[in-house]
Chain A
Amino acid sequence: MPAAPHPAPPAPASAPSAQAPSALAPSAMARPFIRIEGVSKRFGSFQAVRDVDLTIGEGEIFALLGGSGCGKTTLLRMLAGFEDPSAGRIFIDGQDMTGVPPWERPVHMMFQSYAIFPHMSVERNIAYGLKHERMSAAQRADRVREMLDLVQLAPFAQRKPHQISGGQRQRVALARALARQPKLLLLDEPLAALDKKLREQTQFELMSIQSRTGVTFIVVTHDQEEAMTLADRIAVMDRGQVRQVGSPTEIYEYPNSRFVAGFIGAISTFAARVVRLTGEIAEVDIPAMDGTFAARSVPGLVEGQSVTLALRPEKISIAKTCPAAVNVVEGQVKDLAYFGKDSLYRVTLPGGDLISVHAVNARRADEGGRPADWDDRVWLSFEPGSAILLTD
């Protein structure tokens, strides 16, 4: 089944809507391309994927993020056709994929282990998928050459897989998957086998290849930084369920649950109770901070409700004198880690809890630049808009 070439231009990076926490609506998305409707997968009595609904736009880089064993690979394998969903349906480009075998799907996969055929040269690996395409030998050779150039492997065309490095093998797998011009490329932890430096370099390479080819990418990863760097949108998964879908900014700034908040980046959470609601602002009572604080309200709050207030370390200011701000709490520095460009403070709050605070070292530490030192009494403050209220 020849996959039609894709002249589609790269999708405009979905502009992160920093204002409204519209996390669930696919923002500024191109034409919907993949629809996953109520898909579940059980292995015996074990439910690996439960009731997942996702819509992915054409030309998007979409990341599936989650801890080990949360069902990312299983979801990907259902898209590729290696597993049949126990329930639900998958549509690719409007076509129901139920019962369509892997070799007839316009989907290619880059395997976690790369799965490069050990008995074929780099060139023959890349050419393999083209065997099933009606095209002349010359066209095929051209295509292979094009792919070799795309991943910069032309000098290694005749090598066997065991004669090239891990990073090069990763690129062979990518070229092989792209050779047939799939509409959708599935990448299962594409960078996990690479070292840190190569990984960062390859991330940008992947993004540039994606923008040149316009193919929709679904990338599986358990590395949140990788997901944030690569993806237009991210789905955070937990025990088979999708917990939140949104752009990296939305996921980071407006997590919808304690799980997502804790999974992405560092965060301190406190039990709180809503005291008063006035327009955009909710006043909450936080026993750990021994006072009442203002935070941006979320839809559906009622007075008296128990909530969780979450604060990212970098959203908190630290000072040795009491600042003029809406939300101020006093504490004592218990611990201090100096990283050079910034420092991490662990501050004991009036209720005895600890909170993490990140501060940039704008001036040299030995010139009195450090905002606080061990055992100093300090004042912490934060904007109402920076505080995250979680209702789960």
Chain B
Amino acid sequence: MTRRPVFLITVLCFGFAFFYIPILSMVVYSFNGSRLATVWGGFSTKWYVSLFSNRQVGAALLLSLQIALISATMATILGAMAGIALARFRRFRGRTLFSGLVTAPLIMPEVITGISSLMFFILMAQWVGWPGQRGFTTITLAHITFSMVFVTTVVHARMLQMDRAIEEAAMDLGARPWQVLRDVTLPVISPALLSGWLLAFTISLDDVVITSFTTGPGATTLPLLIWSKVKLGVTPDINALASLIVLTVGVCVALAGLVMNRAEKRRLAEERLAYRSNE
């Protein structure tokens, strides 16, 4: 009985309208000529011009990207280690605490992570004289810490799905345990590493709360800049900035989708070929 689930499809359409109407509205109003951000005053691109002439925005973006690159890479390394440790080493001293430590940051409200990191950095500066000044370093350290556990989750899940027999086969063929890890395990989980890295990257790039607590003089990331402007109310140049971000993300996602689609098609074609040659 092939029946269209009318109710479900209706809710789905409503949900997508809910998701995208605010974003579309923001894009439309970024071309608003009026200074009053909510009243339409004719088409204009002046907010884009003012955005591009704003040095602060460029600097903040650069800082955000630097922090996100470093922290995502470090988080991937540390998080993957933790994920592998949890999946492969069933028994070691302090395992319970360890698995608690990799889940706690996931459920810790950001405000608490923020103030605990800030108090930690202030007290460390007092006790051991480091960090001398808060800013780039402290933001990056905090980002690594709370994004690595997301990588751990992704890697752990992938490791549990993985067929252990291939690792055993490698061992059987004479590889030492760490060589198995390097030659078999890591390549097999590399898609999980990539998605973990991307996740950590976006989390870092998007973070406001923890960054606002761990930042110091002169270290203004893009979200902090937006935050300081948005707190004052709706301003048209933020609409323009938002539109550019939406455009960038949209293009990246579409490209990624296209590449994945191609790869998938190629894989299917190759599979079909392989089947045929078996017959």
Bits for A71-101, please: 1 = Cβ < 8 Å to B, else 0.
0000000000111100000000000000001
CB nearest to A81 among chain B residues? B1
Does chain B have a CB within 8 A of A262?
A: no
B2 contact set on A, CB distance < 8 A:
83-84
Give the A-B pair count, Cβ closer than 8 A: 8
From DSSP, what is the main secondary structure of chain B's interface residues?
loop
CA distance A84 to B3 in the complex (A): 10
Does chain B have a CB within 8 A of A102?
A: yes
Chain B 1-17 interface residues, beta-carbon cutoff 8 Å to A:
1-2
A84 contact set on B, CB distance < 8 A:
1-2
From DSSP, what is the main secondary structure of chain A's interface residues?
loop
CB nearest to B2 among chain A residues? A84
B1 contact set on A, CB distance < 8 A:
81-84, 101-102
Bits for B75-101, please: 1 = Cβ < 8 Å to A, else 0.
000000000000000000000000000
> Interface residues of A, CB < 8 Å — how many?
6
CB distance from B54 to the nearest CB of A (A): 54
CB distance from A219 to the nearest CB of B (A): 23
CB distance from B279 to the nearest CB of A (A): 13
CA distance A102 to B2 in the complex (A): 11
A82 contact set on B, CB distance < 8 A:
1
CA distance A84 to B2 in the complex (A): 7
CB distance from A85 to the nearest CB of B (A): 12
CB nearest to A80 among chain B residues? B1
CA distance A101 to B2 in the complex (A): 10
CB distance from B207 to the nearest CB of A (A): 40
CA distance A83 to B3 in the complex (A): 10
CB distance from B95 to the nearest CB of A (A): 28
CB distance from A101 to the nearest CB of B (A): 5
Bits for B1-38, please: 1 = Cβ < 8 Å to A, else 0.
11000000000000000000000000000000000000
CB distance from A40 to the nearest CB of B (A): 16
CB distance from B157 to the nearest CB of A (A): 22
CB distance from A79 to the nearest CB of B (A): 12
CB distance from A290 to the nearest CB of B (A): 35
CB distance from A295 to the nearest CB of B (A): 35
Chain A 90-127 interface residues, beta-carbon cutoff 8 Å to B:
101-102
CB distance from A90 to the nearest CB of B (A): 13
CA distance A101 to B3 in the complex (A): 10
A101 contact set on B, CB distance < 8 A:
1
Bits for B89-117, please: 1 = Cβ < 8 Å to A, else 0.
00000000000000000000000000000
CA distance A81 to B3 in the complex (A): 12
CA distance A83 to B1 in the complex (A): 5
CB nearest to A105 among chain B residues? B1
CB distance from A370 to the nearest CB of B (A): 39
CB distance from B64 to the nearest CB of A (A): 47
CB distance from A75 to the nearest CB of B (A): 15
CA distance A82 to B1 in the complex (A): 4
A102 contact set on B, CB distance < 8 A:
1
Chain B 171-223 interface residues, beta-carbon cutoff 8 Å to A:
none
CA distance A101 to B1 in the complex (A): 7
Bits for A193-210, please: 1 = Cβ < 8 Å to B, else 0.
000000000000000000
CB nearest to B3 among chain A residues? A101
CB distance from B33 to the nearest CB of A (A): 51
CB distance from B4 to the nearest CB of A (A): 13
CA distance A45 to B1 in the complex (A): 19
Bits for A46-85, please: 1 = Cβ < 8 Å to B, else 0.
0000000000000000000000000000000000011110
CB nearest to A77 among chain B residues? B1
CA distance A88 to B228 in the complex (A): 69
CB distance from A186 to the nearest CB of B (A): 15
CA distance A88 to B2 in the complex (A): 17
CB nearest to A100 among chain B residues? B1
CA distance A267 to B33 in the complex (A): 86
A83 contact set on B, CB distance < 8 A:
1-2
CB distance from B278 to the nearest CB of A (A): 15
CB nearest to A82 among chain B residues? B1
CA distance A102 to B3 in the complex (A): 12
CB distance from B217 to the nearest CB of A (A): 58
CA distance A82 to B3 in the complex (A): 10
CA distance A84 to B1 in the complex (A): 6
CA distance A373 to B1 in the complex (A): 61
CA distance A113 to B2 in the complex (A): 21
CA distance A382 to B170 in the complex (A): 59
CA distance A102 to B1 in the complex (A): 7
Can you list 8 residue pairs at the A/B interface with Cβ under 8 Å? A81-B1, A82-B1, A83-B1, A83-B2, A84-B1, A84-B2, A101-B1, A102-B1
Where the two chains meet, the residues of A that have a C-beta atom closer than 8 Å to any C-beta of B are 81-84, 101-102
Top 7 closest pairs, chain A to chain B, by CB: A101-B1, A81-B1, A102-B1, A82-B1, A84-B2, A84-B1, A83-B2
Q: A83-B1, A84-B2, A102-B1 are in contact. List 5 more A-B contacts (CB 8 A).
A: A81-B1, A82-B1, A83-B2, A84-B1, A101-B1
